[in-house]
Chain A
């Protein structure tokens, strides 16, 4: 297997047009992934939020996690065999696959949402109640922002899981990039298989990268610890001993107070997420 063969495949115009062209396969893969995540989010997020908020039906989360031990390939084949014949149209191949993908995406999203809400410090929740917030306000204004880091990291792992399984689903006739791997295998075209694998790996890496950026941007600065750092560096800059500039006197007064305020507000959730071990949060704190 030489690199020139791979290069040849990628530069062959025939591989860039039509149903079996790279752009169409990438779009198909993204479409299945997006559709699956959308359905799974609609089911898992309200359910996870409710379980976390009310503390009821926790076994749902435990059960969903235990279901992860079912081999994905087996689930894919079993559902296709039972659901496929029931559907008479062209969708006979798409619906079973999407069903399995949704089933696989729900456990991480459910436990991520639940764990996020569950890890909110009781003191923060009590304070919100004490300020007169209703149950809904506590959920949307306090619990949801605090749960965001854990939820987003579960969204990342669910996305990767769906992209990987959508590839495997080509073996039950789903479109997408997995077609190159499965069709290449059937026709013993190893170059096509390798090129398809490169594309799948790239798609997964790019999707993960995009979600990582969203994760960094979307999380409230008070929770991610960014605010503490900014406030601390501001406090350091405004220290009259280190930087005696002209307006130093104006800045020293409000800034340390602000730093203390932001700092105390953020330490709670930061510790809570650190204890539960969100991947990206732990790297930063």
Chain B
């Protein structure tokens, strides 16, 4: 505990880096997965192709991906961009399915009502399908956020600065306190991500609250 208090500044700065490396891919991944999921929900054939290919990318273990990306992207191995790209790949793989499932879960009669009211394909997606799919997409984002926070810490093995540093450094120095601080900090960060997504999701779906009260 005293160690954690003494190193609070360092913990906070590394937590900030960790949040950046795990959070940016969540936003980027969602932005990429939305059109992909939309396509997958509309075209059954594309759905199989998209979900299989993103699933294959998800299969590649994280440490291997961190090492394989630099020669593919032309970056240096210590470049944090590798981690951002790798995490975005994983997020897209998780969320494409979730977005497709969320959009398909919209009630058929709701969709027909929207079409009857004169919504075009894109307007309906933006104003009807997407808002109704928010709870499903948010659930997928929560899974992706927790797994991102955990996977980012692996990048400390190749020397990228974030909370995982406390894990590798504590192990190298046989100093358990530091490892525990790293674990707890990662858990807290995952919890923060989870709460933020839940709050945003509730804010975006006021109708679910109206029914509850």
Contacts and interface: CB of A to CB of B under 8 A. Distances in A.
Interface stretch (A124-132, A141-149, A190-198): A190-198
Interface in B135-191: 146-147, 149-150, 153-154, 156-158, 163-164, 167-168, 170-171, 174, 176, 179-180, 182-183, 186-187, 190-191
Given A194-B71, A277-B101, A78 B157 contact: no
A67 to B, nearest CB: 10
Nearest to A184: B67
Given A74-B179, A168-B62, 10 more contacts: A71-B164, A72-B153, A74-B164, A74-B167, A74-B182, A81-B174, A164-B63, A168-B63, A190-B77, A208-B59
A182 B171 contact: no
B207 to A, nearest CB: 22
A196 B146 CA distance: 27
A197 B174 contact: no
A279 B62 contact: no
B150 A77 contact: no
B171 A77 contact: yes
Interface in A149-205: 160, 163-164, 167-168, 171-172, 178, 181-182, 185, 190, 193-194, 196-198, 200-201, 204-205
Contact of B68 (A68, A73, A182, A198): A198
B116 interface: no
A208 B93 CA distance: 15
Interface stretch (B6-14, B29-37, B47-55): B47-55
CB-CB nearest 7 A-B residue pairs: A164-B61, A197-B64, A74-B183, A1-B71, A77-B171, A200-B64, A71-B153
Contacts of B62: 164, 168
B151 to A, nearest CB: 8
A103 to B, nearest CB: 13
Interface string A200-232: 110011001000000000000000000000000
B56 interface: yes
Nearest to B72: A1
Nearest to B190: A69
Nearest to B178: A77
Nearest to A80: B171
A105 B77 CA distance: 30
B78 to A, nearest CB: 11
A44 to B, nearest CB: 19
A71 B61 contact: no
A42 interface: no
Contacts of A172: 171
B79 to A, nearest CB: 14
Contacts of B64: 164, 167, 181, 196-198, 200-201, 204
A247 interface: no
B158 A73 contact: no
Given A69-B149, A197-B63, A205 B183 contact: no
A198 B97 CA distance: 26
Contact of B157 (A171, A201, A277, A282): A171
A205 to B, nearest CB: 5
Given A81-B171, A204-B60, A279-B97, A185 B186 contact: no
